[in-house]
Structure 1
Amino acid sequence: MSKSERNKRIAKNTLMLYFRQLLILFVSLYTVRIVLDQLGVEDYGIYGAIGGLVALSAFLPGSLAQATQRFFSFALGEKNDDRLKKTFSVNLLIYVAIALIAFLALQTIGLWFVETKLSVPDGRFDAAKALYHYAVLTFVVSVITSPFMAIIMAHEDMKLYAYISILEAFLKLGVVFLLQYIAWDKLELYGLLVLCVGVVNAAMYIGISIYRYEECQFRKFYWDSALLKEILGFTGWTVFGQISTIARTHAITVLLNQSFSPAVVAARAISVQIASKVNIFSSNFNKSLYPPIVKSYASNEIEDMYGLVNAGSKVTFFLLWVFALPMMLEMETILSIWLTTVPSEAVLFSQLALVEALILSISMPLTAAARAPGKMRAYELTLGTIQIGIFLSAWVVIAAGAPAYSVFVVAIIANILMFGVRLFLVNRLTGFPVRNFLRYTALPVLAIVLLTATPVAFINQLLPHGFYWSALVISISFVASSIAMYFIGLDKVWRAKVVNMIRSRLPKLQSA
C-alpha cells in the first residue's frame, strides 16, 4: 500500500470512528443522566464503587484487543497467512484461560472484598452484591470478545467496527428506557441489563469475524509454542499495564468511598465518565493509526513509523483539546443541562479529569510505537509501577487530611512524569528521535494550548452567565483551536494536504 493510500485509509477510518463516537457520546451522556436520575445519588455512588468493574469490562477488552491486534497487524504486514491462523488459535486459547482465571479470582477474593471491606449504605447490600455478580459475568463475556474485536481492527475494517459500536450504544439506550418501566430493584436491574447487552455484543463480534475472515475458524487448531510464549509475554505485560491503570482508577474511587460521602463518589464517577467519553475521540484516531504503525515497523519502514507517531500525537491531542477546552470553561453549565442532580464536587472533578486526559492523549501514539517491537516488559513494568504509586500517593494525601480533589492533582503530576518516561522508553525500544518529537510535536502542542486557552478564558470571564453566552464561548473556543491547529500544529506539507482535500470536495458539494 502506498503512503497516499495509507493516509487516505487512516483519514477515512478516523472520520468513520469520529462519527461513531459523536453518536455514542450523545447516547452515553443521555444514558448517564437517566441512570443517575433513576438510581439516585446514593445508589449511583454504590454503582461507581462496585460497578467500577463494569467500567473495567468496557475498558479492558479494548486494551486486550489492542495487545492482540499487534500480532494480527504484524502478520498482515508480513503477508503471512500461516502465522495469522496460528495467531488467532493461540490468542483464543489465551483469552478463554484469562476469562476462567478472572472469574475464579473475582468470585473469591473480589467477593470477599465486597462483603467485608466496601462501605455500602444500610439496606442496599443485597442489591450491591447482585450488581457485583452481574458485573463479573459482563467482564468475562467481554474478555472472550477481545480477540474477535482485535481481528476486525487489524484488518482496518473500522466501518464494521463502528456499526457494531453504534448498535451497542442503542442497546444501552434501550436499557435506560427499560430501567424506567420494569418494576424491580433499579441497581440489580441495571447490572442485569448491561450483562444482556454484553452478550449480544459478543455474539455480533464473534459471528461477523467467523463469517468474514478465513483465519477465524474452528475446523483446525493451529499450534505454535514459540508464538504462545511471545504472545503471553507481550499480552501479559500489556494487560499488567492496562490493569494497573484501571485498578488505580477504581482503587481511588474505593478510597473516596471509604473517606468521603456517597455524593463525592458519585461526583468522581461522573468525572471519570466525562473524561473517558471525551477521550475516546482521540483514542479512536489511534485505533486507525495503530495498525499502520505496527505494519510499518513489520515491513522495516522505520522513518514512516516515526512520521506517523509525530503527526499522530499532534492530531490525537487536538481531537481531545477541541472538546476539552470549552468543556473545562463551561463545565458548570454543561453539567446543569446534562444532569437532573449535580453533585457538589462534580464540576471541579470533571475539569481536573480532563486535564489528566489531555496529558495522556499526546502519549497514545508513543504507546503504539512501543508495542511494535513486541518487547513490553520494561515499558509496562515501569509505567505500571508509577500507576500503583499514584494510588499510594493519593492514599497518603487523603490520610493526611487533604480534600477529595487532591487525588486528581496527584494523577496529573504523575501523568506528566509518565510522558517523559514513555519518550525515554520508546527511544530505547525503537530508536525514536526524542529531540524531533519535542521540537515538532510537544512545542506546537504547548503553543496551541497557550494561544487558545488564554484568550478564550479571558473572553469567558468578561461575558455574563447564561446558556447563549456559554454557546458563544464554545463556538469561539472551537474556531480558535481549529485556527491554531492549522497554522501551528500542521507543517506546510500537511496544510497543503488539508487545502487540497477541501478543494477536491467543493465541486462535489456544489453539484450535490
Structure 2
Amino acid sequence: MLASNHKRILRNTAMLYMRMLLAMAVGLYTSRVVLEVLGIEDFGTYHVVAGFVALLGFMQGAMTTATQRYFAFDLGQNEGSNLRSLFNTSLQIHALMAMCIALLAETAGYWFVSTQLTIPPDRLDAALTAYHLSIAAFAVSVMTVPLTAMLMANERMGLFALMSMTDVLLKLVAVLLLSYLASDKLSTYAALLLGVALISFSGYLLINHTLFPAVRLQWGWDGERFRSMLGFTAWSTWGNLAAAMSGHGNNVLLNIFFGPAVNAGRSIASQANGALNQFVSNVQAAINPQIIKQYAAGQHQQMHELVQKASKYNFFLLLTLAMPVLLYTEQLLGIWLAAPPEYAAVFLRLTIIASLIESLSRPMMTLAQATGKIRLYQTVVGGLLLCNVPLSFLALTIWQKPTLVLWTSIIFEATALFARLIILRRLTGMAVVRYLKLTISRVIMVSSTAGTINYLMVFESASGLTLFLGLLINVTSTIITIYLLGLDNLEKKYLSKITTKSCRKFFNFSTN
C-alpha cells in the first residue's frame, strides 16, 4: 500500500469513515428503539421476513459486482469511453432483475412466508403487509445499484458518504416517527423504510445526472454488452446465492426450529457485527477500484501486493475492534440493549470469528471479479458456501442447538479462504506460499498473542469506569501487538511517517 495512488485510497477511506461512524452510531441507537417499540416477537418477525426478501434478491449482489467491475475496468483500460453504453445496459438489466425478483417474491416467496415460517397467527397479516412493502423497497434498492456503482468506480467517495449519511438520518427519522404513530408498528415500519428507499434513489439519480455525462437515458439495445454483463452476472449469481443461503437461509432454519425469539438474538448479533464490519468495508470499498484498474492496466505485481496487504490490514483493523467485543460481550450488549435477546452474546462471538476469516477473503473476491473469468471461482467457492445450509439443517436435526449454524459457517469460511487462494494462483499467478508467509502467518501470530494477553487482563464483572479502562487496555495492547508482530519494517516506517505528519498538522492547527 506504499504506491503513489495510495494517498487517494487513504483520502477515500477517511471519507467513508465519516459516513461509517454516523451510520454505526445511528444504527445501534435505532436497533435499540425498534426493539423496544416492536417488541421481541415483532422484531424477530420483521427481520426474518425482510431477510427472506433479501434472500430472494441474491441476484442484486451479483449485478452489483458486475456493474462495479465493468465501470472500473473501463475507466482503467479505456478511460471511461464506454461508460454511457455500460450504464444504460446496466440500467436495463437492473430493471429486468427488479421485476423478476418482485414476481418471484410475490408468488413462491409469498407462499413460503405465509405457510412455512413460524409467525404468531395474530401477527400474520401485519407480517405479510411488511413483506409486500419490503419487496417494493428492495426493488427500489436494485435500481439504485448502477448509480452507486458509478460513484464508487469514479472514486467519488465523498459524495457517496454524503448520500449514505443522508440515508442513515432518514432512517433515524423513520424510527423516531414510529414511536408516535398509533397504527400497527410492524407494517408502518416497513412503509417508512420504503419511503426512505425512494428518497435515496432520487438523490443518487440527481447527483449522478449532474456530475457524469454517461448517466443519460439512451434508447437502444447493445446485445454484445448485455450478453457479456449477463454472462458475468450468471456466474456471480451462483456465489451470491451461496452467500445469501449461508446467511439468510440459516436464519430461516433458526426460525423453523426455534421460533422468532431466537431470530431476534441472531438479528442483534448480525447488526452489532455489521457495525464492526463497516470499518473493514470502508477500507475495502476504497481499495476495490484500484485492484480492478491495476488488473486492467496489466500492473499485476502491484495488484498482488495490494491484495496481500489489504487482506492483512482488513483482518488487523477488524481484530482491533472485535477483541474487546469478544471479551466483554455481555457487558457491551447490556449497555446497548436494556434486555438483550437470548443467545445474542454467543451468536455475536461466533459471528465475529466468521467475519474475521471472511475479512481476509474480501480483496481476493475483488481480484477474481477483476479478471472476468469467474466460472471456476464461483463454482468452487459458491459450492462450498452452499453446503452450509444442508449441513446446518442436519446438525440442528440431530443436536437441536442454535449455535451449530454459526459453527458450520466458520468451518466453511475457512475452507473457502484456501480455495480462493488456489484458484487465484491459476487465474492471476498469485503466489500462494508468499501469501501464507506474509499474511496468514502474521495474522495467526498477532491474533493468538493479542488474544492471550487480553484474556489474561480481562476485568471480571467490569462496569462503568472499570469497563472503560478494560476496553482501553484491550485496544491498546492489540494495536501494539499488531505493530510489533504484524507489520514489516517498511510498513512500520511508513506508519511512523504518516503518524508524525498527522501529529504535526494537528499541533500546528491547534496553536494557530
Report the alpha carbon displacement of residue 482 of structure 1 after superposing the two structures with TM: 1.4
Q: Is 2:390 the partner of 1:392?
A: yes
Aligned twin of 2:78: 79
Instruction: Rate the CA distance shift 1:319–1:292 in 2: closer, same or farther, 3 A.
Output: same
Determine if contact 2:54/2:138 at 8 Å carries over to the other structure.
Answer: no
In the alignment of these two chains, the number of paired residues is 509
Partner of 1:29: 28
1:489 aligns with 2:483: no
Partner of 2:177: 178
Alpha-carbon spacing, 1:450–1:59, altered in 2? closer, same or farther (3 Å)? farther
Deviation at 1:467, TM superposition (A): 2.8
Residue 58 of structure 1: how far off its partner (Å): 10
**Which 5+ residue runs of structure 1 have no aligned equivalent?**
none
Q: Give me the whole-angstrom Cα distance separating, in 2, the residues matched to 1:403 and 1:21.
A: 34
1:198 Cα deviation from its structure 2 partner? 0.7
Residue of structure 2 equivalent to 1:265: 263
CA change 1:289–1:63 in 2 (3 A) is: farther
Amino acid at match of 2:171: K
After TM superposition, the structure 1 = structure 2 runs for residues 189-228 of structure 1, keeping only pairs within 5 Å, are 189-218=188-217, 220-221=218-219, 223-228=221-226
Listed one character per residue, the Cα deviations across residues 154-182 of structure 1 (whole Å, up to 9, x for unaligned) are 00011111111111111111111001001
Distance (Å, rounded) in 2 between the aligned partners of 1:373 and 1:138: 32
Maintained 8 Å contact 1:278/1:323: yes
Structure 2 equivalent of residue 104 of structure 1:
103
CA deviation map 1:324-364 (0-9, x unaligned): 11111111011111112211211111111111111100110
The C-alpha deviation readout for 1:39-76, integer Å capped at 9, x for no partner, is 10111111121121466699975664333111111110
Once structures 1 and 2 are overlaid, which stretch shifts more, 336-345 or 2-11? 2-11
Whole-angstrom CA distance in 1 between matches of 2:389 and 2:87:
36
2:65/2:236 contact within 8 Å kept = no
The RMSD of aligned alpha carbons is: 1.8
Q: Deviations over 1:62-95 (max 9, x none)?
A: 6643331111111100134432222112111111
Pick closer, same or farther for the CA change 1:58–1:335 going to 2, 3 Å.
farther
Aligned to 1:342: 340
1:58–1:142 CA contact under 8 A, matched in 2: no
**TM-score with structure 2 length normalisation?**
0.96
Question: Could you tell me how far apart the structure 2 residues matched to 1:430 and 1:141 are?
Answer: 36
CA shift at 1:463, angstroms? 4.3
**Whole-Å Cα distance in 2 between the matches of residues 47 and 29 of structure 1?**
17
Give yes or no for contact 1:53–1:136 (8 Å, CA) kept in 2.
Answer: no
Kindly state the Cα deviation for residue 442 of structure 1 after the two structures are TM-superposed. Answer: 0.7
Displacement of 1:3 in angstroms is 7.0
Structure 2 counterpart SS, 1:124: helix
TM value normalised by structure 1: 0.96
Deviates more, 1:495-504 or 1:91-100: 495-504
Aligned partner of 2:471 in structure 1 is: 474
Task: Pick from 492, 499, 511 the counterpart of residue 496 of structure 2.
Answer: 499
Other structure's SS at 1:372 match:
helix
Distance 2:493 2:280 in 1: 23
What amino acid maps onto 1:146 in structure 2? V
Q: Provide the residue aligned with 1:364 in structure 2.
A: 362
Task: Report deviation, 1:25.
Answer: 0.6
CA distance, structure 2, for counterparts of residue 58 and residue 236 of structure 1: 14
Say if 1:379 and 1:101 are closer, same or farther in 2 by CA, change over 3 A. Answer: same
Q: Is the 8 A contact 1:70 1:294 kept in 2?
A: yes
1:509 maps to 2:506: yes
Percent identity (aligned): 34
Distance 1:328 1:3 in 2: 32
For the structure 1 residues 21 and 337, does the alpha-carbon distance in structure 2 shift closer, same or farther, using more than 3 Å as the test? Answer: same
Counterpart contact for 2:291–2:366, Cα < 8 Å: yes
Instruction: Decide whether the 8 Å contact of 2:50 with 2:134 is kept in 1.
Output: yes
Distance in structure 2 (CA, Å) of the matches to 1:317 and 1:222: 45
Whole-angstrom CA distance in 1 between matches of 2:55 and 2:317: 24
Note the C-alpha offset of 1:378: 1.6
Query: Using the alignment, how far apart are the partners of 1:6 and 1:443 within structure 2?
Result: 27
Deviations 1:189-214 (A, max 9, x none): 11001111111111111111111011
Distance 1:5 1:453 in 2: 35
Taking the aligned partners of 2:253 and 2:127, their CA distance within structure 1 comes to: 17
